[in-house]
Structure formats: structure tokens, C-alpha cells
Amino acid sequence: MIITKPLNNNVVMAKNNKQEEVIVVGTGIGFHKKAGDVIDERKIQKVFSVADNNKLAELISQIPGVYIELTEKIVQYARRKYHLELNQNIYLGLTDHIYFALQRLQENIDLDNPFLIDIQHFYQQEYKIGLYAKEMIHRMFHIQISDDEVGYIAMHIIENEFQQKRQDFDKIFKVVNESVCFIRKYYLKDVKESSLAYTRLVNHVKYFAKRYVEGHENQSQNRLLKETIQGVFQKEQKCINRLSLHLKDEFGKEMSESEKNYLILHLRNCCELKE
């Protein structure tokens, strides 16, 4: 590939072997390089086709390439540390957000994040990725971002994982919060937030909430499971039936019977693993 425009030490515009315009990211890939130089392919970490990413190319033309470099560092960290496979949409949304967030902070404009507590409790691994981004931003730009901004970065990671419209994305947060708070209040009153039981509960509810909001709830029926639940897990069944009615009051519909049954089993496991 031939460089057409160096953007910084680690990001360049180039032409590939098919003479298509691409954005190339790699440590030191643009160091002391100029238009017409050949790219050292051993340094390539990521290649974006401009034809497939017109908005990303437009963004790169408007902001310093160091921001796409930062996003690549965050994505690589998420992949290496937590094995997340984020799609290419993350580069546009997160790069754009970080650039304008830092512009706002330099003008002393800081935004509150109404979902911060929920993110810290229910999406801990994504929040830790946000903390890594905070560290990299300080290292690269000498700017300290707030916990609210860490939360917004985590939200981009979560949204990319779920690929939700913003309205659905906000609703998923609310369903998770309502469900976990309800279960803790009426069933797992003494569960520790650091416990395996709590982690399993939150993870299960997150994916239930996604199905619930999308209307893709599990509808399969298992007669033996249903009979076991009705005969043995009466306390858990009562909790989830009440939760279902609570969700109906808040969001307009109850849980499917299948979703109830699996969540009842999950609660039983949580109770046994409470410590």
C-alpha cells in the first residue's frame, strides 16, 4: 500500500493494491513518512475501506488522526482483556464522542450521566474499559475526564455489543435496573455485590432485558421444568411472578412463561451461591 496522506505517527491515508482509498492504523506506521512512501505491512493493525466507511473518512478529515488511534487502542484493549468483538461502527461513534467530549471539557462544559450508577453496577467490564480510556486520554492529551464521561464511553461499548437504537438502549438500562432492584428487595436481600451470585444475576437479567425490549423473549415450553418449579421453587416463583407484574406496570407487558421459568431457576442458583 502507498501512503497518500500521513495523519500522524500511527494513522495514514493510503491506496491499496486495487487503488482503493483506505485508512490504515498501526504503531509508527506514519512516522517520518510522506505521500508516496510504501507502508510497512508488518506495522498494520487495522485497515478501513473509505468506500465502506464514508462517514469515518469524513470524520478523519475533520479531526486529528490521533483520535482514531485512541479508539483503536481502546478496541484492542477490550478485545485483549475481555475478549469483546466490537464491530467497525465503534470507530465512528466512539471517536466522534471522545473528540467532542474533550472539546467540551476544555471549555469547562461537563455533562452529567444519568446512567452512571447503573453502568458501574451492571456493566462493570465495559466501565473498566472506560477507565482504561480515561487513562489513555490523560496519557495522550493530558486531560482528566470525569466518571460521567467514563460512563458515556462505556455506553458506546455496550451499545456496540447490543447494536440497539438509542431509545431501546435506554429502555434496556431501565429494565435491568428495575429487575435487579426488585429481586434484591424481595428475594436476595443480603446478596453481596462482589459475589458470584450477584454477577450471575446481573448478567442473566441483562440478556433477558435485551430480549424483553426487542420482543424476542424465549417462548419455548418445558412441561417438566414447569412442574418442578411449581412444586419445589415456590418462593422464587412468587418473586418472579411479582416482578413480571411490576414490569407490566412500568413497561406495559409481562414476561413470557419461559423467561419466568429460566429466571426462577437462576434465582435458585443465586440463593445457593449467595456467598
Q: Is residue 213 part of a domain?
A: yes
Same domain, 45 and 62: no
Q: In this predicted structure, what is the pLDDT of residue 92?
A: 82
Same domain, 185 and 254: yes
At residue 164, does pLDDT exceed 70?
Answer: no
Q: Is residue 231 part of a domain?
A: yes
Same domain, 59 and 119: yes
Same domain, 181 and 248: yes
Q: In terms of Cα–Cα distance, which of 211, 101, 94 is closest to 159?
A: 94
At residue 85, does pLDDT exceed 50?
Answer: yes
Contact 226, 234 (CB under 8 A): no
The Cβ-side half-sphere exposure at 227, using a 13 Å CA radius, reads: 3
Same domain, 42 and 74: no
Beta strands in the chain (DSSP E): 2-8, 11-15, 21-25, 46-49
Q: Is residue 170 part of a domain?
A: no
Final residue of a domain: which of 52, 72, 92?
Answer: 52
**% of the chain beyond a pLDDT of 90:** 29
Same domain, 150 and 97: yes
Q: Is residue 171 part of a domain?
A: no
Q: Is residue 172 part of a domain?
A: no
Note the pLDDT tens digit of each residue in 229-245: 766 788 888 999 999 99
Same domain, 183 and 237: yes
Number of domains in the chain: 3
Q: Which residues have CB under 8 Å from 55's CB, separation 6+?
A: 92
- Cα-Cα-Cα-Cα torsion 222, 223, 227, 229, nearest 10 degrees, comes to 10
Q: Residue 19 maps to which CATH number? A: 2.30.24.10
Same domain, 75 and 157: yes
At residue 112, does pLDDT exceed 80?
Answer: yes
Give the residue with greater pLDDT, 127 vs 106.
127
13, β-bridge pairs? 5, 23
Give the residue with greater pLDDT, 271 vs 68.
68
Same domain, 157 and 226: no
Contact 89, 56 (CB under 8 A): no
Contact 5, 62 (CB under 8 A): no
pLDDT bucket at 224, cuts 50 / 70 / 90? low
Q: In terms of Cα–Cα distance, which of 212, 198, 207, 211 is closest to 251?
A: 212
Q: Is residue 103 part of a domain?
A: yes
C-alpha cell at position 110 = 461537563
Q: What is the DSSP string of 44-78?
A: --EEEETTT-HHHHHHHHHS-THHHHHHHHHHHHH
Same domain, 77 and 59: yes
Placement of cell 486495487 in the chain? 18
Do the strands 46-49 and 2-8 form a parallel or antiparallel pair, or are they unpaired? unpaired
Q: Is residue 168 part of a domain?
A: no
Contact 63, 99 (CB under 8 A): yes
Final residue of a domain: which of 162, 197, 220?
Answer: 162
Same domain, 114 and 195: no
Note the pLDDT tens digit of each residue in 180-190: 999 988 888 77
Cα separation of 207 and 204, whole Å? 6
Q: Residue 134 maps to which CATH number? A: 1.10.1790.10
Final residue of a domain: which of 100, 129, 162?
Answer: 162
Give the residue with greater pLDDT, 141 vs 169.
141
Q: In this predicted structure, what is the pLDDT of residue 275?
A: 46
Give the residue with greater pLDDT, 275 vs 111.
111
Domain coverage including residue 202: 177-272
Q: Is residue 158 part of a domain?
A: yes
Same domain, 135 and 71: yes
Note the pLDDT tens digit of each residue in 117-148: 888 988 899 999 999 999 999 999 999 999 99
